[in-house]
Homo-oligomer: A and B are copies of this chain.
Amino acid sequence: METRELVYFLAVAEELHFGRAAERLGITQPPLSRTILRLERRLGVPLLERGGRGTVLTAAGEVLAREGVKALASMEAAERRARRAGRAEPRLVVAVKPGGDGGLLPAILTAYRDEAAAIEVKVLVCGVAERAARLRDGTADVTFLHDPLEDLTEFDSEPLLRERGVVALPPGHRLAERTSVTMADLRDEPLARWRGLRGPHTCGPEVRDGAELMQLVALGIAVAVVPESAAAVMRGDLVCVPVTDAAPTTVVLAWPRDTRSPALAAFVHTATRVATAAHRSS
């Protein structure tokens, strides 16, 4: 199966309409029809049920649509990584969510840049779900993830920092003056959930980023349990109170499986060294 055939099929599978798919692909409808027909002949299975009103996917079509996007992403990642590896000056791209580094990144960067084998490091600030996507597509080499909240199974990873939870509250909140709270105290509170992260809470609004979360907390619409390091980047008009029995999270460094890059290995090594040093001194 050629890449182009797969791209064409995925366009049709999404649009369920040859005309619109062709338009999106920048070609006309007949060559698209022909390509899909030949693909079906070569696979030996029909992928689409053509009806008078649009088309629907067959079982085989469903499978190819699902597996095909993965395969295509893999092809594009291979291409992107090769391109990056060939660029004149190699550099390491670290994807990080604002406040998602457990406060370690400045110290890690400082320590890493002192290493003999260090190469240029670029920090790519991006959203919650975007970090994993950037690792997958080869745009970034390494990122910080939070252990029980995010899926680590598709990456290699190294734990850096174990953190307890704190709850972010608006200033006048009934719990804002407490020195610590428990999850039971928060049972009736609208606990915010992060979009794209798994969390135990299902009540409360869903947020996309830290700014939205802080805005909702400031307005009294939500409260949020966050790792203690996130308290440092919290807006000054919010209050953070330790939650004694919140499930602890671990900040981990994650990178694509089977990466063989001396620069990345050195970065990971430095990061764990910095993290354990920071842990002991605290």
Contacts and interface: CB of A to CB of B under 8 A. Distances in A.
Contacts of A45: 82-83, 85-87
A78 interface: yes
Q: How large is the interface on A (under 10, 10 to 19, 20 to 34, 35 or more residues)?
A: 35 or more
Contacts of A153: 153, 257
Given A2-B4, A3-B3, A66-B260, A71 B82 contact: no
Contact of A43 (B2, B82, B260): B82
B62 A85 contact: yes
A237 interface: no
Interface in A44-102: 44-47, 58-64, 66-68, 70-71, 74-75, 77-79, 81-87, 90
A277 interface: no
A116 interface: no
24 contacts: A1-B75, A1-B78, A2-B2, A2-B3, A6-B75, A43-B82, A43-B83, A45-B86, A60-B83, A60-B85, A61-B82, A63-B78, A63-B81, A64-B81, A64-B85, A66-B258, A67-B77, A67-B82, A67-B138, A68-B82, A70-B74, A71-B75, A71-B77, A153-B153
Interface of A: 1-4, 6, 43-47, 58-64, 66-68, 70-71, 74-75, 77-79, 81-87, 90, 138, 153, 257-258, 260
